[in-house]
Each structure stands twice: as structure tokens, then as C-alpha cells.
Amino acid sequence: MKGLSKKEIEVVAWLEFHEKYFFTSSDIERFAENKTQRYNIIKNLVRKKRIIKLNRAKYYLVPIKAKSGKWSENPFIVVDEICNSKDYFIGDWAAANYWRLTDQIPMRIGVYTTRRQGNIRILNTKIVFHRTSKKRLEKAVVKSIQGHTFRILSKKESKKWMKLRE
């Protein structure tokens, strides 16, 4: 792991102190004189694996106590932050496991959204995005984990999904 500059330590320490593990570039505006400097701070912290880019505007701070730079966060919270808490739900085996319809631990998180598609790996979790319709989003329910809300396919719909897999 590479060493951090004085400015980078200041940014990481401030984010950690205020418990802003999910943040945007505007949250660290106070540490930079202009946009270019702010961009460079973020770019260097990403390169040094102290922050992880989640989407176009949001980042995740790897806590200081993660000495090796490796860290794990609840994947449901990460998915909610990536999707900015709207137009998505968690489905497939992750939803079935959440509702205890299967003992199988999911190898990946299936996310249905109107905005994006494809695969990404964040914090050692593989997330697979599937495109879906606005109408299908209504089949989701809002739940809470560790004080953070997320959207997941309802238990009834998860049971239907499981029947299709038999």
C-alpha cells in the first residue's frame, strides 16, 4: 500500500471522523482550492485504494482501520448507494437468501434497475445489473439493514422466482 500525502490524510481523517463512508466530491470541497485539485485528490486516493468509485458522483471510503486496504461492507447498502436509493431492487438468489427461501449463499447480487446493465466488482462483491421496467419496480419492498434502507424483491415474488428455478 502506498503512503498518503498530508492533504490526503487530512481528507481521509475528516471523512472518517464525520463517518461519511459514502460521499461525493462536493463533500471534500473544503480541502481543495479548485476543481482540478479536488479531482487530483480523489484520483490519487482511488489509485492508492483508500476510496472506491461507486458511480459517476459517489465514492466509498475504505476505513483507516483497514490496514491492508481490504474492507467489506454489506452489499445491500453498497447497491443502494450505487443506485442513489431509487429505480432499483435486489432480486435473484440474494433476495431468496434474504427471505430464507434458500440456504444457498449467493455468489453475486442481482440488481434490477431502469438505469444501467452489466457486471461490476466492488469490495469483493460481484454485482450484476439487469435492465427492467418501471412497472416491475413496484414488486419491491423497502427494508432496513444496519440503519440503512434498501429495496428488495418482495417475499411473494421471490417465491415465484424460486418456483421458476425448480
Please give the Cα distance from 9 to 150 (Å, whole number): 31
Residue 12 exposed, middle or buried by CB count within 10 Å (0-12, 13-18, 19+): buried
CATH label, 6-61, candidates 1.10.10, 3.40.50, 1.10.357, 1.10.3470? 1.10.10
State pTM to two decimals.
0.79
pLDDT of residue 1: 44
Question: Domain ranges in the chain?
Answer: 6-61, 75-165
Q: Which of 6-20, 55-69, 80-94 has the lowest mean pLDDT?
A: 55-69
Q: Are strands 51-53 and 88-91 parallel, antiparallel or unpaired?
A: unpaired
Cβ proximity of 127 and 65 under 8 Å: no
Instruction: For the beta carbon of residue 152, count every other beta carbon within 10 angstroms.
Output: 23
pLDDT higher than 70, residue 68: no
pLDDT by residue (tens digit) across 140-152?
999 888 888 999 9
